[in-house]
Each structure stands twice: as C-alpha cells, then as structure tokens.
Amino acid sequence: MRNLFKLSKRPKLKSPNMLAAWPGISNVSIIVANYLRRKLEFKEFGEIEASHFFDPIGVIAR
C-alpha cells in the first residue's frame, strides 16, 4: 500500500476540512465536489488513491 497519498504541497493547517468525491454514474459527485471547492475557496494540495481502500464491484439500489 505505497503511494496512497500524493501531496503537491505541504500547507500549515489550523482547522482543516476535507472534501472527497469518487466517480460514479455521470461523475455527479466529481462535478459537485469541484463546484463546492470553487465556492468555498478550498485549496487543493493532494490526492488520495481510493482504489486501495475499496473494490467497487457493484451497486444495489432500492
């Protein structure tokens, strides 16, 4: 499990918030996350490789 986190900067954090989104049908979560990031003026400083934490093999909706 190497390279799970890719940091582009190392900011000093006081009371950080995290915004996370994973792609899905029509990439709606990615679109919403980008909208919120812009509106809330969040600064991107890294990425988390999500595929190491779960293996999405299917979705059940009722």
For Cα atoms 36, 37, 43, give the angle at the middle one, nearest 5 degrees.
160
What are the C-alpha distances in Å from 53 to residues 14, 24, 50, 56, 61?
27, 16, 5, 10, 22
Domain ranges of the chain: 1-12+19-62
Please identify every stretch of the chain with a pLDDT value under 70, giving residue numbers as ranges.
1-2, 53-56, 59
For position 35, what pLDDT does the model report?
A: 96
pTM given for the model:
0.62
- First-to-last alpha carbon distance for the chain, in angstroms, is 34
